A and B are shown apart, each in its own frame.
Chain A
Amino acid sequence: MGDFVFAHLSDVHLGAFREPELRELNCLAFERALDACGTADFIIIAGDLFDSPLPDLSVADRAVRKMRILREQGKRFYVVYGSHDYSPGEKNVIDLLESTGLITKVSLGEYEGEALRLRFIEDAETGAKIAGMSARKRGLEREHFGCLDRKALEAEDGFKIFVFHSGVEEHKPDFLKGVDGVPLSLFPKGFDYYAGGHVHARIDAEEKGYGRIVFPGPLFAADYRDLEDLRENKHGFYLVRVAGGKAKTEFKPVETAGVEVVECGATGKSAADLREELLEKARACEAKGKIVLLKVHGELSSGSPGEVDWNAVRAAFEGAACVKVNRSGLSAPLASGVKIEGNSRREVEEKLFHELAEGKWDEKPCRPLLDELKAARPEGEAKQGFEERVAAKAEKVLEALK
């Protein structure tokens, strides 16, 4: 096996934002990343290339055009589903791209009894052997990890890459505390490179007995937190040079737009006062070409958040690439809500039913009804059949009450 280079991207989340400007920046980041893959023999995308299983076609079209150029140059794309672009039991954009020959899915395998045997894809030109595990919704891939025939994977020789889209329990960033990952002990040992996705943070760790475990983090951003992070940290991908069977990583930042965070407290201010203050902050901000994250929080003394002219505020950030307003922490003085405390989701749900019913209607059917309605669709079951089954069960609950 000779020396070679591959690129490792993940969490591109094309189509993630509602704002056209952010969508554009996201596409731009992907195009620039592929432009920077010039020396790579192949490209690994460790899940969530798209933000949904069926993305906006204009976004998909643009991505496909760029990927095709690289494909025509002889570069190969190896992909696993992410938690966003996977859909149980249905074809999705990743399947479509594979049908065209643009990409190769590397999460191949089947159950033999209780053991899940994965198959390697061998990159014909470099000889690199790639196996992978796609994500499932709500971390259900952990169950498959638990059944992996690790010994068979470990016995394979050559330069091996394991592609996955899951957090690793031992390498979680602080913001993922309390969120389940997959324990390292469920991964096959002895791979030369573990190409991770799903964790929106850059991680490059050497793990004894395993090898290099790498997460590039998001290529651009998928949500507000990512955008905030972009202010402090460069986002991008890894270029991995393999020489003498050893992998050496180089992080390649992808430049898009700078990020400016503007915060404003609203407590004790009227809606009109807040508007004036926001306009003043906007005028003072050097926003040209930047993504502005406007964070407004607190309780207004009078008026409602709707009375602040948000369009005018946005426009006041002159030349900004995009102004994204986060006012989830902003409330009106008269805003009322139901405050529920509970130790489990179940308890909160039950208390909420009780609170909302106020004794005016029978809350008893809510619990069993919700239990039936929130059932997850099992893999392999068709959507229509599943919906019919759930509806029938829900009807049964209601009938039992008559």
Chain B
Amino acid sequence: MEFVGQIVSGAFGEILARQKSGEELEIGELLACDEPNGIQLLQVYDLEYGSQIQPETIELMSGLRLEGKGEKTSFFEEELRHYVLAKVKGLVTVRGGKAVSTKTLPKFFNGLRRIRDADLSFLDKPEKPLFLGRLRSGSKAIDKRIELDGEKVLSHHVLVPATTGRGKSNLVKVMLYELLDKDYCGVLVMDPHNEYHKSLKKHAKAGEWLKSYSPNPEGGQVSLRVNYAALKPWHFNGVMPFSEAQQQTLHLAYKTWEKDWITRLLAGDSLGDKVQDVTLNVLQRKLGLILDGRVFVKNGSETIVDDVTGHLLDSKKVVIDTSRLGSEAELLVASVFTNALFNRRKAAQTDKPVVSIVLEEAPRVLSEAAGANVFSSIAREGRKFGVGLIAITQLASLIPREVLANLNTKIILGNEMKQEREALIASASQDLSTDDKAIAALDKGEAIVSSVFSRFAVPISIPLFEEHASAAAASAPARKAFV
């Protein structure tokens, strides 16, 4: 047996193991401990030095070497006297190929070894898989795909928190690429950098499963144009602030002019004595700024909202390029499609296929300051109707705790901000209280997945999208002839 360490002391959740000389354990490394009734899988969460020599003696030896009075001095049988102590915690116990929560300490003085493929047989591929990456032990990727039950994960919301440059976009691209031809889910992607269409169209089945919209369409994208008639007063909730009087005027205009309400408001038509001119003028100016005639249009494109919601309910992946839109216009587009989708889903009284909405800078609509809107409604009750969010953010701490707790899968990428790590640890589905250092130490493309749908917080390595996509595309079918 190739042991890399041995349990020497500790308590439940904070076991101390001595590292074997010549081995190098890492924070986040996965270890296994063979027990009579199964295998305990453990993870290193901290490392420290240990020594059998008194500190004063070690310090003296150091002085002799540093000051040139004993360069050749050394400790007798140094590998026995100095060592590394690893703090490890139990993740899960595997019995008969099934994983159960760890409730016992491994046998005292038992040896620890690195995990093997056979230890991971319990990580089955779910029927409706959502691929997140490969299992990671420390900084080493293991050839084991980590796939959670996509239908459950997506309907119960996903949070992707990370600071810039830690691989958020890469992760979402990989997830979407794998999901593209899965018929159990539709995904609406608000794409502020116009990067997902270019990436996803590399998929061999993009022609069938990918629908893209852009204000400047190219290469198969459809023009992003939303007819004024598709807009409703509540679409502006969470998008831009309106005073109470302005809100009432929006609703009155809609009630009075129905589908022409925006056109009439922009034209400056009167609503009679009930509304002051100043209110109308302010509304006209505010709406005029966001409805600039490029994306929101008076004529044409009457079918786009039904088309997009239809695609989503047909399990297609819909990418909306918002790269040239302002933040408010982007949110309004998202709000129009999301409201239509959520209403259709509620009316249909069904929760399948699950539909997920990918939204960057999610605190814009999920923070307390954003007020009530369709996204916060989905965060609270979307799962009943099979509608979920994939909320991407650098600042998870801005999302209220009860909403954070509702985002039941968190794919935590590297984050150097302590406040953000604390918010994530406090709302994670597993106890990550010892993982603060591990999160801070995550490199680009490394993540920890904490989910109510996984047995333990799973360390993953996310493949580089370009490599992942080109490997998958190698088996794409040949093109047909033109007849």
Taking Cβ atoms with an 8 Å cutoff, the residues of A that contact B are 88-89, 109-111, 114, 116, 142-144, 146-147, 169-174, 176-178, 183-186, 205, 341, 343-344, 346-347, 378-380
Contact = CB atoms under 8 A, between A and B. Distances in A.
Given A142-B207, A178-B310, A344-B353, 19 more contacts: A89-B483, A111-B479, A143-B480, A147-B479, A169-B307, A170-B225, A172-B303, A178-B303, A183-B217, A183-B222, A184-B222, A185-B217, A185-B218, A186-B219, A343-B313, A343-B350, A343-B353, A344-B183, A380-B481
B205 to A, nearest CB: 11
B430 interface: no
B300 A186 contact: no
Interface in B220-253: 220-223, 225
A32 B218 CA distance: 41
A122 B278 CA distance: 61
B293 to A, nearest CB: 12
Given A147-B479, A184-B223, A344-B353, A205 B300 contact: yes
Contacts of B352: 343, 347
Contacts of B222: 169-170, 183-185
Contacts of B479: 111, 114, 147
A147 B482 CA distance: 10
A184 B300 CA distance: 14
Given A143-B480, A147-B479, A379-B481, A170 B223 contact: yes
B71 to A, nearest CB: 68
A177 B217 contact: no
Given A178-B310, A343-B350, A343-B353, A183 B221 contact: yes
Nearest to B350: A343
Nearest to B352: A343
A20 B248 CA distance: 60
Given A185-B220, A343-B313, A344-B183, A171 B300 contact: yes
A184 B217 contact: yes
B482 A144 contact: yes
Interface residues on B, range: 20 to 34
Contacts, number: 78
Contact of A186 (B220, B303, B315, B353): B220
Interface of B: 183, 207, 214, 217-223, 225, 300-303, 306-307, 310, 313-315, 350, 352-353, 479-483
Nearest to A346: B183
Contacts of A116: 482
Contacts of A346: 183
Contacts of A147: 479
A88 B306 CA distance: 32
Nearest to B218: A185
A210 to B, nearest CB: 11
A378 B300 contact: no
Q: Which 9 A-B residue pairings sit nearest by Cβ, starting from the closest?
A: A178-B310, A177-B303, A185-B217, A177-B306, A183-B222, A343-B352, A169-B222, A170-B223, A172-B303
A170 B306 contact: no
A177 B307 contact: yes
A109 B220 contact: no
A109 B483 CA distance: 8
B207 A174 contact: no
Contacts of B218: 185
Contacts of A88: 483
